[in-house]
Structure 1
Amino acid sequence: MTKKLWGAVAAVVVVVVAGLGGKYYMDQQDETIEALYPTAPGTFVGDPMPYYDGTDFLIYYLEDHRDGEIGFHPFSLFKTRDFYHYQNAGEVIPYVNEADDQERALGTGSVIKDEDGLYHAFYTAHNGDLDPKEAIMHATSKDGEKWDKLPDHTFFASSAYEANDFRDPYVFYVEESNNYWMLITTRQDGTGVIAKYVSDDLETWTDDGVFFKNDIGNDSNLECPSVVIYEGKWYLAFSDQWDQRVVHYRVADSLEGPFEKPERGLDHVDGAGFYAGRLETDGENLYLVGWIPTKDEHDDRFNYNWAGNLAVHQLRTSENGLVGSLPETARKQIETKVITAEQLTGETIPTTDKAVIYSGKIKGSDDGVLALSFSKDNQVLINLAEQTISYQNTTIETLERGAPKTEMPIVVSDGKFDLEIVKEQDIVVVYVNGRALSNRIYKAKTSDWKFVTVQGEFSLD
């Protein structure tokens, strides 16, 4: 489990019963977590569902206990204003810990507040032993933390869609039509689509056809959709369930579409080490809220798996599409260290328990390959020859025989680039000119690290 820096505990820990199956958990309400990439103690973060309530970002998520229970993935809640101090409200919507219940597992959903101030959660109820496996369910709350389930409002896929792939509802109010829209991940005619359902009262939903069809050249499901307006444009985000496994985005002038790939640049801001990102805005700033996965057996030799640590990129527009950075409110909370010439030429950089940003303007030769070497077996590579940034769990000497675990194209002109390395425990997020590469590197938690020039030349600019 990732070690974190914890704030003051403001509540007495009590034992309460969660779910019908008698599962017990520790309620850590009002505990404050200080971290750029938080988890609750002993558990992991899956599929965040952020909602800005005008003051706080309420980040609901699927909590991954990995405890062997029949049921899994309750909704839990972090609340934050700066993406560094998180109030841990704990579990807020439980699953039903019974083998034959539709809610044996909760799946991704969304939260919205109506005009009367009542919170509404719409979520997936999943049971792989049932047919259909998935349903959309509804709950309401006066404060966003204590929820009442409304099972009478449950609905399943219409005949137009694949009933066993029908999940991840994202609900928002549309002023132009004076009703609510729900985007749902599903399948039609053998490929992934995002369906659109509509409602006047948040209780009864009507199928209104396909909102968006897979356009990425495969038949992948388009998971965890979200849509927001930012700087006069509508942005749609979704996660590619297989193949690339990245968070894509599309742009349109109106909700009616068409939602298309950006005219310039990539259609994603991070690699496969960041997943299930949902868009949210406070009216001025745009954020992408996802998770950085753990690895099988918590070992750098193995592949990424499901759930991990919460991670947030702040997004902004550029001539090359959307680019990302650490949220500015979080940046103010932690130390920034300027990369020195001595460090760039191989001086060892001590690891630290605290979150740190390492920042610098770098110039490299056209054929340059620069490694951030976290132990002898873990390299983050900035490759100017191929215009990529990647992570390989291999040695410098065997790079050519290995393959990237995750990779992102970058745009570097004249060999000059802004480099930012955000390190907290075993999380390493590298930004090169606004392109991000999120990584879980367990050795980074305990090992000192250094820059290694693999090819060409590098210097401070």
Structure 2
Amino acid sequence: METTPVDSMMRKYMDQQGFFQPPHAWVGDVIPWQEDGTFHLFYLYESRRNPSAGMPWHRVVTDNLVDFRETGVALASGGPDAADFNVYTGSIVVDAEGIHHAFYTGQNPRRLGADGRPLQLVLHATSRDGMATWKRHSEHTFGATPGYETADWRDPFVFRDEEAGLWRMLVTARHSSGPARRRGVIAQCVSRDLRHWAAAEPFWDPRRYLAHECPEVFEWNGWWYLVWSEFSESFSTRYRMSRSLHGPWVAPDNDTLDGRAYYAAKSAARDGRRFFFGWISTRDGRTDDGPWQWAGTLAVLEAEQAPDGTLRFHPPQEVSTTFDAPIAALSPATTLEAPGGYADLVLPERVPSSFKVDALLDITAGTTECGVLLRASMDGDEAYVLRLEPRRGRLVFDRWPRRHTGDEQWQISGDVPFAVELERPVALPPGEHRLEVIVDGELCVATVDGAVSLSTRLYDRTTGHVGAFVGEGKVSVRSLTVTTRRASGEAQPRLPGALAATV
């Protein structure tokens, strides 16, 4: 029986594990809600159609973070003339009567604010049937309060402040005056009934960023965390810490969740664990040199809380353990030593499109660099590279060959030290460090010591081998294993106590 492109796309959709992307579309900002053991992940459904038919919310559900079930449109576009032609980011809460409330951003490029830019508004909808259907309440719509730009009033995050006995709403906003690049502020409104909202003092006003997108705040074991995404400097999701909901908010040494390619992450908790749901951006033209695009593939990171309150990030164990079929392993352990040069080793087995690498590296003091090679040529000369740089305290993503700018030998982007937007700070003192890498087709998520994650896309190199290397130093490769996923169709583990989602 002949297989059509649509059949192939649907098969790819059905075979997804640990990541999610709808067929013929992409995942934008995720609005996570956890209830009765199931994660309900509302998301901005990006079709990239031109002209646009309006942005809707779709919903996907999961109870094990591995298998995702799309339930279709949750909040449709309001139509070409509506304030919510584009249904943008927001949040979900449930009141004392069990009614679910969705607060979301409405935007229509035909409706302009006082500043001449498309107006942004906060809108309200409720559900009395377990989030299956929603009723819009246009009478509750409101725009920017005085002192803020009318075209930046979005991403409402609503939560209950039990101590104050009211509901708080955080809003991505910008002051109407001041240096254009530093007007970003998390505005605040308060309510007693989830219907009538009053302006309050700004929740956080650092005067540092262009905007604080997709803000959220939560408490965890005596610490409060403020999370938002910014596109002023590095397109990163960042966080701050405080012992109080009212601050002061302190920046940890490493205040980002991931790198440039992972954006707009928001979280939901279950059984004392907290998971962040963001998207790994695509690149234009599906090439390694293409510009980053808005929206991509849903990916999950789990946060762990260190004793000092700082957060560590890595893929959930539920996703990592799906890679349990051995492909290759280094035996016995090997030491790579190159005091003034470079040395590598490449495993002979060719890896499939989806695989996991687990490398335990014992780094000798004074070593300049070491790491792993992905989809490498057998001689190790061409590969994607995840490079640990102890002297600079960072993990970087690189590739070779880089872009060619001409036919001459020297006409190559050799002056580019690495993919500069894909850099993560990480402490690398002498001793053992674990580098774990999940590659799933185009997707790549690397984690150092279960604490620092870096996500990206891999387009140009689709096959090859796995290896390890050292540059100007010495590293003992204690172990290097490559695994792939179990056979399709086998049952996946569920989170303890999870209830089956109904669709």
Q: Residues 361 and 399 from structure 1, CA distance in 2 versus in 1: closer, same or farther, beyond 3 angstroms?
A: farther
How many Å separate the matches in 2 of 1:126 and 1:33?
Answer: 35
Q: Residues 328 and 369 from structure 1, CA distance in 2 versus in 1: closer, same or farther, beyond 3 angstroms?
A: closer
1:204 is the counterpart of 2:196: yes
Shift of 1:394: 4.4
How many Å separate the matches in 1 of 2:349 and 2:156?
Answer: 45
- 2:315 paired residue among 297, 314, 326: 326
- 1:213 paired residue among 205, 224, 228: 205
How many Å separate the matches in 1 of 2:329 and 2:173?
Answer: 46
- 2:439 paired residue among 404, 414, 423: 423
Out of 298-307 and 361-370, give the one that drifted further. Answer: 361-370
8 Å CA contact retained: 1:168, 1:184: yes
Aligned to 2:347: 347
Q: What TM-score, normalized by structure 1, do the two folds share?
A: 0.86
Name the SS of the counterpart of 1:329 in structure 2.
helix
Aligned to 1:60: 42
Shift of 1:301: 1.4
Name the SS of the counterpart of 1:46 in structure 2.
strand
Aligned to 1:178: 165
Q: Residues 283 and 187 from structure 1, CA distance in 2 versus in 1: closer, same or farther, beyond 3 angstroms?
A: farther
How many Å separate the matches in 1 of 2:431 and 2:137?
Answer: 58
How many Å separate the matches in 2 of 1:158 and 1:364?
Answer: 55
Aligned to 1:155: 142
1:258 is the counterpart of 2:248: yes
Shift of 1:127: 2.0
Shift of 1:385: 2.8
How many Å separate the matches in 1 of 2:472 and 2:79?
Answer: 55
Q: What TM-score, normalized by structure 2, do the two folds share?
A: 0.79
Amino acid corresponding to residue 135 of structure 1 in structure 2: L
Aligned to 1:370: 371
Shift of 1:193: 0.6
Pick 1 or 2: higher relative contact order, CA cutoff 8 A, min separation 6.
Answer: 2
Shift of 1:60: 0.7
Out of 278-287 and 438-447, give the one that drifted further. Answer: 438-447
Amino acid corresponding to residue 173 of structure 1 in structure 2: R
Aligned to 1:300: 288
- 1:138 paired residue among 119, 124, 131: 124
Amino acid corresponding to residue 305 of structure 1 in structure 2: Q
Amino acid corresponding to residue 387 of structure 1 in structure 2: G
8 Å CA contact retained: 1:64, 1:72: no
* Alignment deviations for residues 211-270 of structure 1 (CA, whole Å, 9 cap, x no partner): 01236xx432010001111122111100112211111101111212222212xx311131
How many Å separate the matches in 1 of 2:429 and 2:470?
Answer: 19
How many Å separate the matches in 2 of 1:230 and 1:47?
Answer: 23
RMSD over aligned CA atoms reads: 2.6
Q: Residues 241 and 349 from structure 1, CA distance in 2 versus in 1: closer, same or farther, beyond 3 angstroms?
A: farther
Shift of 1:171: 0.8
Q: Residues 270 and 348 from structure 1, CA distance in 2 versus in 1: closer, same or farther, beyond 3 angstroms?
A: farther
How many Å separate the matches in 1 of 2:222 and 2:9?
Answer: 39
How many Å separate the matches in 2 of 1:282 and 1:143?
Answer: 19
Shift of 1:400: 4.5
Task: Describe how 1:121-136 pairs up with structure 2 within 5 A.
Answer: 121-132=102-113, 133-136=119-122
How many Å separate the matches in 2 of 1:245 and 1:33?
Answer: 30
Aligned to 2:74: 92
How many Å separate the matches in 2 of 1:429 and 1:325?
Answer: 9
Amino acid corresponding to residue 50 of structure 1 in structure 2: P
How many Å separate the matches in 1 of 2:164 and 2:158?
Answer: 14
Q: Residues 185 and 147 from structure 1, CA distance in 2 versus in 1: closer, same or farther, beyond 3 angstroms?
A: same
Shift of 1:97: 3.9
* Alignment deviations for residues 148-167 of structure 1 (CA, whole Å, 9 cap, x no partner): 11111111011121111110
Gaps of 5+ in 1: 8-30
8 Å CA contact retained: 2:372, 2:466: no
Q: Residues 406 and 239 from structure 1, CA distance in 2 versus in 1: closer, same or farther, beyond 3 angstroms?
A: same
Gaps of 5+ in 2: 114-118, 335-343, 377-381, 403-411, 479-503
- 1:274 paired residue among 247, 262, 282: 262
Amino acid corresponding to residue 325 of structure 1 in structure 2: H
Q: Residues 420 and 374 from structure 1, CA distance in 2 versus in 1: closer, same or farther, beyond 3 angstroms?
A: same
Q: Residues 341 and 73 from structure 1, CA distance in 2 versus in 1: closer, same or farther, beyond 3 angstroms?
A: farther
**Would you say how many aligned residue pairs link Structure 1 and Structure 2?**
432
8 Å CA contact retained: 1:384, 1:415: no
Structure having the higher Rg: 2
* Alignment deviations for residues 20-79 of structure 1 (CA, whole Å, 9 cap, x no partner): xxxxxxxxxxx9664211111111111111111132111111011112243332101111
